[in-house]
């Protein structure tokens, strides 16, 4: 009977120790998950910022191209009127 009581108490102590250890591990995992969550938010924000910069850069290139075409059109001499082929 004393042996069973000792084993029962020993088992309870081991379970208590394991619970404390697991709680610490869970807390550590929560901290790591928060860090991962923050990192993903930063990546998402950077991606949005980069996408916006790329869109603005493309828009700028289109405007520069249109501007160059307009300048070129102003330099061209007016053509002669077409001859009647009647």
SS3 83: coil
pLDDT at 39: 98
Which residue has better confidence, 40 or 16? 40
CA angle 63, 46, 52 (to 5 degrees): 20
Which residue has better confidence, 51 or 11? 51
pLDDT at 55: 97
Helix ranges restricted to H, 1-86: 2-75
Measured distance CA(78)–CA(9) in Å, rounded: 105
pLDDT at 84: 66
Q: What is the pTM of this model?
A: 0.56
pLDDT at 20: 94
Instruction: Tell me the mean pLDDT in the region 16-27.
Output: 95
Place of tokens 């290139």: 61
Residue 84 region by backbone torsions, left for phi larger than 0, else alpha for psi between -120 and 50, else beta: beta
Using CB atoms within 10 Å of the CB of residue 60, give its burial: 0 to 12 exposed, 13 to 18 middle, 19+ buried. Answer: exposed
Instruction: Tell me the mean pLDDT in the region 43-67.
Output: 96
Is pLDDT of 86 > 60?
Answer: no
């Amino acid at each position: 009977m004393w042996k069973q009581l000792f084993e029962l108490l020993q088992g309870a102590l081991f379970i208590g120790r394991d619970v404390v250890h697991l709680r610490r591990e869970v807390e550590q995992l929560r901290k790591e998950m928060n860090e991962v969550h923050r990192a993903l938010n930063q990546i998402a924000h950077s991606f949005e910022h980069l996408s916006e910069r790329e869109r603005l850069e493309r828009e700028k290139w289109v405007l520069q191209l249109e501007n160059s075409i307009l300048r070129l059109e102003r330099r061209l001499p007016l053509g002669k009127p077409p001859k009647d082929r009647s």
